[in-house]
Amino acid sequence: MNKILIEIFIFILPFAFVNIFASLSRLFKFKFLEYPLDFNIKLNNKRIFGNNKTFRGAFFGIVFGIICMYILFNFKTKLSDYLLFDFNLYSPLFYGIVGGLGVILGDAIESFFKRRLNIKPGKPLHFFDQTDWVIGLLVLTYSFTNLTINHIILILIIIPIFHYLFNYFSYLIGLQKNKF
């Protein structure tokens, strides 16, 4: 059981940072990237994703995913017993892009459904706010990793708990407006 938890930690950590960094990218003022991913397009008189999903967040999230994967790649010999990434078949660049896209797309798809349900940007949709990025990550990376069904089940149990704790901490220190 310890081995699988370490594998999950090593698999998730780089992309948890992608999710965090995409959110924190608003601190970087790159005007040309501050354009919404949905190009302000509406569907049934509602924005597709809303103003909070920008090219800036997607760009910095994916770039950070690539950086994290190169850092992980540098420790591949020490971590080889626990890696779910096969760096002999796919490069850190590949994993960073695919995983980063998975995180961003998972989050964007959840925003799409929140707009349909009339949930305002930044307001919570419990459980899905905690798992959207993970589901996107799993869908896009599953075919390129050594993930098993046991990994996936544990990830879907563990991540929401940690996400709630992280969000609450972020709220306490003033980085987030909502507790969860």
Distance between CA atoms of residues 166 and 180, nearest Å: 9
**Position 93 confidence tier, pLDDT thresholds 50, 70, 90:** very high
Which position has the token pair 């760096």?
Answer: 87
Residue 1 has pLDDT above 80, yes or no: no
Residue 40 has pLDDT above 80, yes or no: yes
Helices (runs of H) and strands (runs of E) counted in the chain: 6, 2
- pTM of the entire predicted model: 0.89
- pLDDT in the model for residue 92: 98
* Domain locations in the chain as residue ranges: 2-172
- pLDDT in the model for residue 50: 92
Residue 178 has pLDDT above 80, yes or no: no
- pLDDT in the model for residue 132: 95
Distance between CA atoms of residues 165 and 173, nearest Å: 13
